[in-house]
A and B are shown apart, each in its own frame.
Chain A
Amino acid sequence: MSTQVFYFVATLSILFSLLVIFAKNPIHSVLYLILTFFTFTVHYVLLNAQFLAVVNFIVYMGAIMVLFLFVLMLLNLNKETEPVKSPLIKIVGVIAGCCLIVTLVGSFKAATITSPLILKNPGLGLVENLGKELFGPFLLPFELSSLLLLAAMVGAVLLSKRDEVEA
């Protein structure tokens, strides 16, 4: 039952991520990306990582993608405003795509069928256990990453302030 659900959701994930790339309209692209993130949330639920699922839901679907949509709506991208691509860029693109295909084929050839991952502790993704892990063995990396986020936040505020002073 769970495996079938996984394959169904995984197919949807791949389908929506392909649509993100192939959609002509950037707004549609973002909307497909939101659907892709939603399927990721379902994957997390299937892995019994409820906290990660709901955080993915709030942060990626609820906050970051709203900002993406926000910016794209303001930009109002049309066919007319799109810059004309020179043939050189197209050739570079084709070469880069071929390189990607070679890499993918190589990695698929090396891949073998692995046994499904079984968690040693199925309750690891629950809030309580996750918190104990984060504030126990992983305290230092956790605090360092929060420091990094704080630095990024201060930097963003500083960058936007400087413009104001010059103007």
Chain B
Amino acid sequence: MDIAFIIEKFILVAVIFGISLVIAMYSTYAERKVAAYLQDRLGPDRAGPFGILQPLADGVKMFMKEEIIPTTSNKWLFIIGPGLALLCACIGTAVIPWGSPMEIGGKIVPLQVTDINVGVLYIFGVVSLGVYGVMIGGWASNNKYSLLSAIRAASQNISYEIAMGLSIIALLLMTNTLSLKEIVNQQHGWHWNVLYQPLGFIIFMVCSFAETNRAPFDLPECETELIGGYHTEYSSMKLGFYLFAEYINMFVSSAVMATLYFGGYNYPGMDYMATLLGPTWAPLFGTAILFAKIFFFIFFFMWVRWTIPRFRYDQLMNLGWKGLIPLAIANIIITGVVIAIIEKF
């Protein structure tokens, strides 16, 4: 492990970290603009041209607000909760391949922090860990509404994790690998997995909505029933951490969906572009394509949020256990049978 390797990875991690924070920041702005557009309003337009300085103003506001820790709360866990939520949101980016290896000054640099051979499962583990931030924060607040919300979050997360895992299994039957880099490379050009796994993709997408606590699955923060949900007692930047974690989660799950099902940094005609742009700029163009896909998914998350009303709790559980899990199992069986038939002939 030489110094150059560590510096290279350090720069990559810092860049990815910075990009995800900036995207999360501007997702709050985009969310308000999309909401405004769908509701025929203007949205934020005071701070800077078109209101693009609004996230900065919000950030300053978050830091300046008085910080209140309820006296009956469990102080340490109350502080750990939002920190854990943000941490779990950020570490998911480590295994996503952001682009094909790039040539910088005669040196090939992979645009991926680490290519572990269980990449898909790593993402899955990080997702399942994400609920602890909500649970610990909700319990430590010592507030009935927060506790109810924490329990809702936990049961929702566990229910939809199963369907999510099953939908990935059908994909893995086709790819024969758990490494995200190899999965992306198999989708060279236009051979995107969504063309072969449309049902699997829909199940995976619905489950990622549930795992990120986004509408219509945002029952843990259902304000008509639970005041503010698990962050009722939170104020200042701790509240900001929770809100930020949600947007980073949205970014990471968009990236995972784009990587697993929509070809990652692959696009039709990439071989021609590679000869045209050369080994330095072509990978960057691929990365730009990946980000375009990610932005589309983020927009889709917002579009759904402002279109579909929230589920009732029993509807949520029915959809998860009686709808998505049987569908996912059927998808596995169909995929398995088709692969067996193709291999036979």
Residues of A within 8 A of B (CB): 27, 31, 34, 50-51, 53-55, 57-58, 61-63, 66-67, 69-70, 73-74, 126-127
Contacts and interface: CB of A to CB of B under 8 A. Distances in A.
Contacts of A62: 125, 127-129, 161
Contacts, number: 60
Looking at chain A's contact residues, the main secondary structure is helix
Nearest to A65: B132
Contacts of B139: 27, 69, 73
Contacts of B136: 31
Given A61-B129, A73-B139, A55 B158 contact: no
A127 B129 contact: no
Contacts of B129: 57, 61-62
Most buried by B among A50, A66, A69, A73: A66
B166 to A, nearest CB: 14
Contacts of A54: 118, 121-122, 125
B132 A34 contact: yes
B154 interface: yes
Contacts of B311: none
Interface of B: 77, 116-118, 121-122, 124-125, 127-129, 131-132, 135-136, 139, 147, 150-151, 154-155, 157-158, 161, 178
Contact of B147 (A34, A50, A61, A73): A73
A57 B135 contact: no
26 contacts: A27-B77, A27-B139, A31-B77, A31-B136, A34-B132, A50-B117, A51-B118, A57-B125, A57-B129, A58-B121, A58-B124, A58-B128, A61-B125, A63-B158, A63-B161, A66-B131, A66-B132, A66-B154, A66-B158, A70-B151, A70-B155, A73-B135, A73-B139, A73-B151, A74-B151, A127-B117
A79 to B, nearest CB: 15
Nearest to A58: B125
Q: Is the contact region of chain B dominated by helix, strand, or loop, or is it mixed? A: helix
A63 B128 CA distance: 7
Contacts of B116: 50
Given A58-B128, A62-B125, A62-B128, A69 B135 contact: yes
A53 B154 CA distance: 23
B226 to A, nearest CB: 15
A41 to B, nearest CB: 9
A74 B148 CA distance: 9
Contacts of A74: 151
B50 to A, nearest CB: 41
Nearest to A66: B154
A67 B121 contact: no
Contacts of A61: 125, 128-129
A62 B139 CA distance: 17
A57 B124 CA distance: 10
Given A54-B122, A70-B151, A70-B155, A127 B128 contact: no
A31 B117 CA distance: 29
Closest 3 CB pairs of A and B: A62-B128, A57-B125, A54-B121
A139 B161 CA distance: 27
A90 to B, nearest CB: 29
